[in-house]
């Protein structure tokens, strides 16, 4: 939040005049949250193999864990409710969902996308463009 407030102040906007929405939170990895895949494999050999095979639909173990498909279902109502120009600061999983639902990418294509960390994604109508 501090970064958002600094950016808004630098743009001459009210630093506190923004909203958050829990539907835009990155997907949860459940029991895997906070671990690298290398760490998971070291602790439980073969545990990440299923995710590599079916990344979009894979559900990690643990309470609250989500697949990309579950994230997409959480995100759709937010996306459907957009009725004005919006700046959305979110995560790679959410962007993969945008490509799946807006651009019509297959599950495999959307799951395998490289999501740059230094670019903006513009959504206009039914098109997506990296800026």
Give 49-60 pLDDT, tens digit per residue.
Answer: 989 889 999 999
Instruction: Render the burial of 21-39: b for 16+ CB within 10 Å, e for the rest.
Output: eebbbebbbeebeeeeeee
Q: Does 18 map to a domain? A: no
Q: Are 26 and 89 in contact (CB under 8 A)?
A: no
Expressed as residue numbers, the domain containing 54 is 25-130
Q: Does 11 map to a domain? A: no
CATH of the domain at 87: 3.40.50.1240
Percent of the chain with pLDDT over 70: 100
Q: Does 33 map to a domain? A: yes
Which pLDDT score, from 0 to 100, does residue 57 have? 96
Q: Does 1 map to a domain? A: no
* Residue 122 backbone phi and psi in degrees, to 5: -100, 125
Q: Count the alpha carbons within 13 Å of 11 in the hemisphere toward its beta carbon.
A: 11
Beta bridge mates, 122: 129
Q: How far apart are CA 87 and CA 64, in angstroms?
A: 27
Q: Does 109 map to a domain? A: yes
Which pLDDT score, from 0 to 100, does residue 2 have? 84
Q: Does 70 map to a domain? A: yes
Which residues lie below 8 Å from residue 94, measured CB to CB, with a gap of 6+?
24, 26, 71, 75
- Report which of 119, 67, 118 is spatially closest to residue 93, judged by C-alpha positions: 67
Q: pLDDT category, 125, cuts 50, 70, 90? A: confident
Q: Does 111 map to a domain? A: yes
Total length of the chain: 131
Q: Does 98 map to a domain? A: yes
Average of pLDDT values for 100-116?
Answer: 95
Rounded-to-5 percentages of helix, strand, coil across the chain: 45, 5, 50
Share the mean pLDDT of the chain.
92
Which pLDDT score, from 0 to 100, does residue 53 have? 87
Q: How many independent structural domains does the chain possess?
A: 1
């Amino acid at each position: 939040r501090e970064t958002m407030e600094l950016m808004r102040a630098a743009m001459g906007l009210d630093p506190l005049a923004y909203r958050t929405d829990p539907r835009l939170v990155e997907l949860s990895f459940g029991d895997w949250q906070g671990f690298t895949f290398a760490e998971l494999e070291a602790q439980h050999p073969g545990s990440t193999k299923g995710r590599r095979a079916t990344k979009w639909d894979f559900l990690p173990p643990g309470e609250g864990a989500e697949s990309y498909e579950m994230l997409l279902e959480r995100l759709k109502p937010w996306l459907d409710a957009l009725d004005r120009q919006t700046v959305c600061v979110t995560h790679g999983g959410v962007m993969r969902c945008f490509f799946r639902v807006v651009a019509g990418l297959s599950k495999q294509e959307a799951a395998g996308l490289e999501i740059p960390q230094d670019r903006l994604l513009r959504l206009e109508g039914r098109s997506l463009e990296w800026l």
